[in-house]
Structure 1
Amino acid sequence: MPRPLVPFSQYVLKLHSRCDLACDHCYVYEHADTSWRGKPRAATEAVLARTAERIAEHAGAHGLTAVHVVLHGGEPLLAGRAAVGRAAELLRAALPEGCALDLRIHTNGVRLDESWCELFALHGIRVGISLDGDRAANDRHRRFADGRSSHGRVLAAVALLRRPEYRDLYAGLLCTVDVENDPVAVVDALVALEPPRIDFLLPHATWDQPPKRPAGMGETPYADWLLAAHGRWTELGRPVPVRTFDSIHRTLRGRSSLTESLGLDPSDLVVVDTDGSFEQADSLKTAYDGAPATGFDVFAHTLDEVARHPGMVARQSGLAGLAEQCRACPVVRSCGGGLYAHRYRGDGTGFLNPSVYCGDLLRLITTVRDRTAPATAVPAQQARELTETQWEELAEGYGAESTVRALAAAQLGLTRKLVAAVGAGSPGWELLGSLDERDGAALDAVLAHPYARAWAVRRLREEPGADPGALAGLAAAAALRAGRAFELPLPVRDGAVHLPTLGRVLVADAEEAVLTGDAEGFTVAGVRVGPDAPGDARWQPVRRVALAGGWTPALEDTDPQRDSHQWPVTGRLDDEEWPAWAGALREAWELIGRDLPGYAPGLRAGLSTITPLRPGPEGRDVSAAARQAFGAVGIARPGTAPILALLLVHEFQHVKLGAVLDFHDLFDRAEARLFHAPWRPDPRPLEGLFQGTYAHLAVTEFWATRVLAYDGLAGGPAEHARVQLATWRGHTARAVEVLAGSGALTALGTRFAEGMAAAVEPWLAVPVGPAAEAAARAESERNLAAFRVRAASGVGAG
């Protein structure tokens, strides 16, 4: 049976075949292949146009939702601004609707100036820069032909890209390893430039032309260099993604690699040279003269023909295409045999050899593996206890009570670890430990509070408002729940002593107040709270709304960490607003149980806290879910109970999916592309698109139930519901297609996409009438037009 064709989603388009630097480690001009001498200096309009047509043809034939094109050289800026701009125009114009273009340029940076940045901003071209570290490291190889340093000009280019108006253009730095450079100095120099990503490349070499191994550096100098760099990167808190290190971490956990030089993922990259010829990866130029050639070109051959070329197929054969020694290696799934070009030996074995860096790769991967702490066991195991049925429920947008309780258990385990990480030694820590030993249920009741985790994360990030003294409030609240006798000083914040899940006591101006607790209640700042005490207006308890079926969510208007949502929160609800909220919740809950029964059990099991928000702009309903506050949503009370019901189920979708994403990868976390979300004009990162799609499953079902209730009726509300259904089911179905075709989903993510498609399918058949369909179509077209304008101008996600 023939091997399935692997379509190309990554393209290197050579705009110019010469360079203005004379880097002595360059694989194009300094290694075995000399084909550059016979290539045109610059790609012509005909080559650019035909290349764009071939890519579009291939993308359409294989249903690709995105392609990645890197404008390259030589030095691509030598082609001139007109050629670069024209290449961008042709590529964007040719691609079929629904296929996004991730367009980048890789340059040495010495010619980059404001006019180039303006051009890149106009065409949405992101910029990668080659830089080998500080001046000493960079000038070892990257010099002009007359020996002058390129370092100052490159730093000036990077400084331009770091300016606020161009920051979105900055794609990262590429550094070629030289073991005679100081790895710590190199890491420090690169990190100081705040790149979105760093790539470390091993210098290209083969068994016939092995890499330099200076005397006295041992048998694995490249592993030693990279391990020193990894250690420094870790010591700095991993401030920026490093593709090599991230790929090792990922492949050790069975996930995909981010680079062709590691892992077993099939290569889906092709090069188009300045004459229009299709070539394999440029790295092959280091093997032998003519190694990258395919004999195909954009004028006479399709990309499907190129994909069937024996050289392309060989780079897609995974484990089966490796040498026997590699297949038996314990780290083969991380190493993948190393970069294909580095396996070459001219003794007839060709590429069927281990990498010339075999020993370095083995030491690098095994040491990183041993350095890496195992994943947090308890929450992860709890999360994996979901049954096949429960995964199916979640993928389709729902989740029974047992399913959501399993997610909540995993979240509680995570919160415990976060609190332990930031709280050790803080006031109240000893009491917290004692509670954990003897009154675990009382402690869990407090740590399951959504804003306990929000506080811990803020502490880890050293954000304002996350004072360490808040741990004492958590400990005191848990001790009071356990009926403990204790005495503990608590911080006063905003004129109150806060007891998470219980309430707050208003106190006079002070920095702290001593709380004395016993089995019947507590006393703080002269206020006694308990069954034996008269009511005191200075005690403001957390109020809960008792709803049918035993659901008692808190209306949280006391916890200082409740400002975790993107919208401002209200103050304490007054005697009019509190009963209005309670009544609205009762109506909304009744409606959810009747019209959205698939969402009700999970909502009851997992949504513990509703935080009132201030009203938004006139005519806009405001709601939010905080990524670090499982179990809470923020809502500004809307004018009607049905809209409150909609906001509750919508935001809890985000809460559920966030809980899944804490322990399971639905997509490649390193995916940097932005995608079209049909309901927004701005390009969105993949997680934002996934979150929005998942939430809109509930929105679609809500409007479908409204349309079915209005069946056969005319009038404003009925027509409004039909337009809303037509709009949201279209948006959601299209977004599922974008996710499924992104090429960035894991197996579980693909399962979720299939579940979401199945969930929205029944609502696609609900009749809404031609007027509603036309209105939805017009809205979608307006959104897409706005998106294209933003994408073309390089405006990122807002």
Structure 2
Amino acid sequence: MACRCGAAGPAAPCRPISQYVLKVHSRCDLSCDHCYVYQEADQTWRDKPVRMAASTVRAAAARIAEHARAHDLPAVHVVLHGGEPLLLGPAGLREVLAELRAALTPGVVLDLRMQTNGVLLDEELCRLLVAYEVKIGVSLDGDRAANDRHRIFAHGGSSHAHARRALALLRRPEFRGSYAGILCTIDLRNDPDQVYSALLAEAPPRIDLLLPHATWDRPPRRPPGVATPYADWLGRIHRRWVDDGRPVPIRLFEALTSGAGGGTEAVGLAPADLLVVETDGSWEQVDSLKVAFHGAAGTDLDVFAHPVDEAARHPGVAIRQEGLAGLCATCRACPVVSRCGGGLYPHRWRTGTGFDNPSVYCADLQALIAIVDSAPASDRAGARRPGDAPAPAGAGGRGPRSPGIPVPRSAESVGDRAVDPAADRLLAEIAGGHGGPWALDVLAQTQLSITRVLLETWRDITGGSAAWELLAELDATAGDAVGAVLAHPFVRPWLVRQLARRGTPDVDLVPALAVVAAVRAGVEAVVEVPVRGGALVLPALGRLTVGDERAGEVRTAPGGLHIRVGSVSRTVPLDGAGPTPTGWQPVRRPPIADAMITIEDVDPERNCYGQPVAPTLDDDAADALGATLALARLAVHRDVPAHGVALDAGLRAVVPLAPDRLAPWRSATARQAFGAIAVAEMSDADAMAVLLVHEWQHGKLGALMDLYDLVDPGSSVRIPVAWRPDPRPVEGALQGAYAHLAVTEVWHARATADRPDAQVARGHLVRYRDWTREAVEALLGAGALTDLGERFVGRMGHVLEELRADQG
């Protein structure tokens, strides 16, 4: 791409720069002894202004905007740094942020981030940073003992409680969108397992583990006789991280796994794409160069007289953009050079040979790559990608692991190039009213992760058991089988109910889950399962009526179950090869080819809809409901195929509701029971199709709102809606509008088809379309949606307009 910014100097090719660090305050309220700014070879900070002047901010913003537009950059990324940027205070930060936004938008997407020690972070600053869409990374080295080795006040006091208070603020729903992650500097004296646990407890969207800055002149601390202590330390965390199912992205591990660098200069061969602006307006190279020698990061250029292109041509910047060609001969000949990229540029410094050396951590990087590669192939294949979301807090530790979930609630940590585009894709697919297999899988995996966390909490309360150990063992050897069992829609409602009791549990479902997982995995096992209400219930398999006994012994075997309750033994065939014993009621399946829907009328946890569910159906009633469901599914595919795809991709169970002659058209969704809906029994397949689509909308939106805050949680606004006599809370109005959007599509399809009831369908279309449009307009005008919520509802409005235009 030709440069159009008019830079002075030789006509060298311009490699665009999209990432900038603004040192908005050059002093710090901590006195960390491992800080490269104040404690290393470069002491130029002493001659810099304490804070960046408004005129300097304005000049820097103008240079960045000029460069972005000249090179047609779609986005730029600016990190506010220091020192400690929060020392600017709310007024100073607002001035900087407003200047950057004014200079760069519209036309260029501005990704704003901040790295802070968190000491000064409070609610006022959080509200300001959220308002300006600033993503915040907090520095924390682990538990108090680990953190206080280095991150202390000048008087020697601990900063640990301050950092944790800041992280607690960022976890609050109203601020969670600005939580970018945790930066942790390694110290070999800290226990890696304790550090990992402490960081995971803060529920970070991402963790950055940093090698302490060092050079060949000032090598890192190494215990005598240990060849690769940093690889050994990191390797312990990596093994636990893999065992835990990678519950949170750790950038160094992901970068070494992919070999692409993962948005970090620490490893990989991707060109460096970053410039620093000091408080006096000087252009500088990456500021970690301060560990090398006094003045190492300088360029003798500034924002007032020199455009970005000229700074980008500086030899110290340019060489970091040359990839393999910029490395020493030793690195170029190394078989893993594409993975480590020669390590961090400053770590190569040696007096006499400059940066023409391998990293001082070369041996550790090679050993760490071997550790990463030694992870089981299945685990590496399932590794998180940059931008994948963390599992919810507490997902690590003992027991079944939490799977990776794409699409985070918040953005990537400070320094990443962009927010994962998967997030935009998910919102767009769901907001459009449908959601294909990919989107429904994202929602399902998120719900599964939440269930795993709740199950882990249940274990902590009740303690271990033989059934739990079996379940954990199966999760390690047959994870798909365990995942399928935990995805049963009524496992999470049971966990929520039991955890709310906080007392003696009424029943432990884990043994039954272990049995079902063993059956799915084809593993022979013997488990004692509690009896519930006179029956031995096996979720997603069926129920055996046994009477007043307290427990039964269940033995899994190929093709079936052998169950002993008291002195009576029964064999339950699961392959249809033998007679069904008296009292066995299997979970029923409607006659739908290639679909996984069941009629759930035996699981006691199905009674979670706030209205009575039907008792177990007799065979005739079950067959009739199954036939109606099969025809209703065909009707959905006929009317709006995209809704049919969404149903097939995520709906797993239909619960019959108790009959009510005064309200024959009834249906319901339970927020905790993703994958299931409840409907009244009926013979009208077209009516059933509308109910299925309507309720599945609620299920999808509820799962999405477990990932994203679409509604301001502090809002007390109530919105009048046409379908209810009372004004609804914002979330209730959004749920209703989203469900009615799908119903509008169904009636639109029927009104525009060659059908005898097309005129009736047109009346329904107008009513639901108007209801939904009015609700969308009220939601957008209420000021109670988050930015993501406004985008979501705005997309719903576009779908409505397309339907109206299509109707004419």
Scaled by the length of structure 2, the TM-score of the pair is: 0.61
Aligned to 1:786, the other structure's residue is in SS state: coil
Structure 1 CA distance for aligned equivalents of residues 580 and 378 of structure 2: 50
Structure 2 CA distance for aligned equivalents of residues 180 and 776 of structure 1: 58
Aligned to 1:640, the other structure's residue is in SS state: helix
- Picking from 363, 366, 377, the partner of 1:362 is 366
Is the contact between residue 60 and residue 281 of structure 2 (CA under 8 Å) also seen in structure 1? yes
Is it true that 1:512 corresponds to 2:555 in the alignment? no
Q: Could you give the per-residue CA deviations for residues 561-620 of structure 1, whole angstroms, max 9, x where no partner exists? A: 779x999995646689968854652443232443456886997799764456899xxx99
Who is 1:589 aligned against? 633
Who is 1:162 aligned against? 168
Q: Could you give the per-residue CA deviations for residues 373-407 of structure 1, whole angstroms, max 9, x where no partner exists? A: 33169999xxxxxxxxxxxxx9999xxxxx99xx9
Structure 1 CA distance for aligned equivalents of residues 62 and 651 of structure 2: 51
Q: Could you give the per-residue CA deviations for residues 604-655 of structure 1, whole angstroms, max 9, x where no partner exists? A: 799764456899xxx998668999x9xx55465799345346469979999x
Who is 2:599 aligned against? 555
Is it true that 1:491 corresponds to 2:490 in the alignment? no
Structure 1 CA distance for aligned equivalents of residues 265 and 610 of structure 2: 43
1:201 deviates by: 2.3
Is it true that 1:40 corresponds to 2:49 in the alignment? yes
Aligned to 1:74, the other structure's residue is in SS state: coil
Who is 2:355 aligned against? 351
- When structure 1 is superposed on structure 2, of 314-323 and 97-106 the one drifting more is 97-106
Is it true that 1:503 corresponds to 2:542 in the alignment? yes
Is it true that 1:210 corresponds to 2:249 in the alignment? no
For 1:528-607, what aligned pairs fall within 5 Å after superposition? 540-546=585-591, 553-559=597-603, 570=613, 572=615, 581-582=625-626, 584-595=628-639
1:129 deviates by: 3.8
Who is 1:223 aligned against? 231
Q: Could you give the per-residue CA deviations for residues 186-217 of structure 1, whole angstroms, max 9, x where no partner exists? A: 5566566665554332232334x232445725
1:510 deviates by: 3.4
- Picking from 21, 30, 37, the partner of 1:12 is 21
For 1:284-683, what aligned pairs fall within 5 Å after superposition? 284-294=289-299, 297-299=302-304, 303=308, 311-347=316-352, 350-370=354-374, 372-375=375-378, 426=467, 450-451=484-485, 454=488, 467-470=509-512, 473-474=515-516, 490-513=529-552, 540-546=585-591, 553-559=597-603, 570=613, 572=615, 581-582=625-626, 584-595=628-639, 609-611=653-655, 633-634=676-677, 640-644=687-691, 646=693
Aligned to 2:339, the other structure's residue is in SS state: helix
Structure 2 CA distance for aligned equivalents of residues 476 and 202 of structure 1: 43
Q: Could you give the per-residue CA deviations for residues 38-68 of structure 1, whole angstroms, max 9, x where no partner exists? A: 4322112233345455556666777777654
Who is 2:786 aligned against? 787
Letter of the structure 2 residue corresponding to residue 267 of structure 1:
A
Who is 1:276 aligned against? 281
Structure 2 CA distance for aligned equivalents of residues 262 and 566 of structure 1: 51
Structure 1 CA distance for aligned equivalents of residues 121 and 338 of structure 2: 39
CA shift in 2, pair 1:73/1:601, >3 Å: closer
Aligned to 1:270, the other structure's residue is in SS state: strand
Q: Could you give the per-residue CA deviations for residues 728-785 of structure 1, whole angstroms, max 9, x where no partner exists? A: xxxxxxxxxxxxxxxxxxxxxxxxxxxxxxxxxxxxxxxxxxxx9xx89968965999
Structure 2 CA distance for aligned equivalents of residues 352 and 160 of structure 1: 41
1:269 deviates by: 3.1
Q: Could you give the per-residue CA deviations for residues 50-101 of structure 1, whole angstroms, max 9, x where no partner exists? A: 5455556666777777654432112223323311233234445555369766
Is the contact between residue 100 and residue 675 of structure 1 (CA under 8 Å) also seen in structure 2? no
Is it true that 1:84 corresponds to 2:93 in the alignment? yes
Who is 1:252 aligned against? 257
Structure 2 CA distance for aligned equivalents of residues 779 and 63 of structure 1: 37
Letter of the structure 2 residue corresponding to residue 545 of structure 1:
P
CA shift in 2, pair 1:582/1:229, >3 Å: closer
Q: Could you give the per-residue CA deviations for residues 100-135 of structure 1, whole angstroms, max 9, x where no partner exists? A: 665443334455566655655665555444344566
Is the contact between residue 77 and residue 110 of structure 2 (CA under 8 Å) also seen in structure 1? yes
Structure 2 CA distance for aligned equivalents of residues 545 and 698 of structure 1: 24
1:351 deviates by: 3.4
CA shift in 2, pair 1:577/1:328, >3 Å: farther
Structure 1 CA distance for aligned equivalents of residues 657 and 137 of structure 2: 42
1:36 deviates by: 2.7
Who is 1:686 aligned against? none
Aligned to 1:199, the other structure's residue is in SS state: strand
Letter of the structure 2 residue corresponding to residue 555 of structure 1:
I
1:470 deviates by: 1.0
CA shift in 2, pair 1:149/1:120, >3 Å: farther
Letter of the structure 2 residue corresponding to residue 361 of structure 1:
L
- When structure 1 is superposed on structure 2, of 580-589 and 78-87 the one drifting more is 580-589
Runs of 5+ unmatched residues, structure 1: 381-393, 398-402, 437-442, 659-673, 684-694, 728-771, 793-798
Is the contact between residue 32 and residue 286 of structure 1 (CA under 8 Å) also seen in structure 2? yes
Is the contact between residue 26 and residue 49 of structure 2 (CA under 8 Å) also seen in structure 1? yes
For 1:42-191, what aligned pairs fall within 5 Å after superposition? 42-52=51-61, 68-92=77-101, 96=105, 103-112=112-121, 116=125, 120=129, 125=134, 127-132=136-141, 141-142=150-151, 148-151=155-158, 153-162=159-168, 165=172, 168=176, 171-179=180-188
Letter of the structure 2 residue corresponding to residue 338 of structure 1:
G
Aligned to 2:786, the other structure's residue is in SS state: helix
CA shift in 2, pair 1:571/1:322, >3 Å: farther
Structure 1 CA distance for aligned equivalents of residues 286 and 562 of structure 2: 71
1:281 deviates by: 1.7
Structure 1 CA distance for aligned equivalents of residues 218 and 658 of structure 2: 66
CA shift in 2, pair 1:788/1:602, >3 Å: closer
Structure 1 CA distance for aligned equivalents of residues 200 and 34 of structure 2: 23
Q: Could you give the per-residue CA deviations for residues 122-154 of structure 1, whole angstroms, max 9, x where no partner exists? A: 655554443445666555544555xx2142x44
RMSD: 6.4
Aligned to 1:544, the other structure's residue is in SS state: coil
Q: Could you give the per-residue CA deviations for residues 434-468 of structure 1, whole angstroms, max 9, x where no partner exists? A: xx9xxxxxx99x96995465499989x99967633
Is the contact between residue 495 and residue 508 of structure 1 (CA under 8 Å) also seen in structure 2? yes
Aligned to 1:80, the other structure's residue is in SS state: helix
Letter of the structure 2 residue corresponding to residue 367 of structure 1:
I
Is the contact between residue 42 and residue 292 of structure 2 (CA under 8 Å) also seen in structure 1? yes
1:283 deviates by: 1.2
CA shift in 2, pair 1:91/1:500, >3 Å: same
Structure 2 CA distance for aligned equivalents of residues 719 and 171 of structure 1: 44
1:355 deviates by: 1.2
Who is 1:732 aligned against? none
Structure 2 CA distance for aligned equivalents of residues 635 and 451 of structure 1: 20
Q: Could you give the per-residue CA deviations for residues 392-442 of structure 1, whole angstroms, max 9, x where no partner exists? A: xx9999xxxxx99xx9xxx9xx99xx9xx9999659989x99xx9xxxxxx
1:559 deviates by: 3.6
Runs of 5+ unmatched residues, structure 2: 4-12, 384-425, 431-436, 500-506, 660-664, 715-738, 792-808
Scaled by the length of structure 1, the TM-score of the pair is: 0.62
CA shift in 2, pair 1:351/1:2, >3 Å: farther
Aligned to 2:183, the other structure's residue is in SS state: strand
For 1:703-714, what aligned pairs fall within 5 Å after superposition? 709=753
Aligned positions, number: 654
Letter of the structure 1 residue corresponding to residue 551 of structure 2:
E
CA shift in 2, pair 1:230/1:585, >3 Å: closer
